[in-house]
Amino acid sequence: MAVKLNLLQVALSNKNYDLAAHALVYGMVKVKAEQNDKKRRTKEQPKR
């Protein structure tokens, strides 16, 4: 995530708000996908 934060900082410092918005949305989608993947893994594990 450090790379995306760096990209966000560069985009904002250059006043490239379109790129900054894309970086934020990409980060949010990535986090949401990781959260859903964690939930799916716990449901798939068989009960013992």
Beta carbons of 31 and 39 less than 8 angstroms apart: no
| pTM: predicted TM-score of the whole model, two decimal places | 0.63
Query: Cα 15 vs. chain centroid, distance in angstroms?
Result: 21
The residue that leads in pLDDT, 44 or 20, is 20
Beta carbons of 11 and 20 less than 8 angstroms apart: yes
| pLDDT tens sequence across 20-39 | 999 999 989 999 999 988 87
Q: According to the model, what pLDDT value does residue 20 have?
A: 94
- What is the rounded distance in angstroms from the CA atom of residue 24 to the CA atom of residue 8? 7
Predicted confidence (pLDDT) at residue 12 exceeds the cutoff of 80: yes
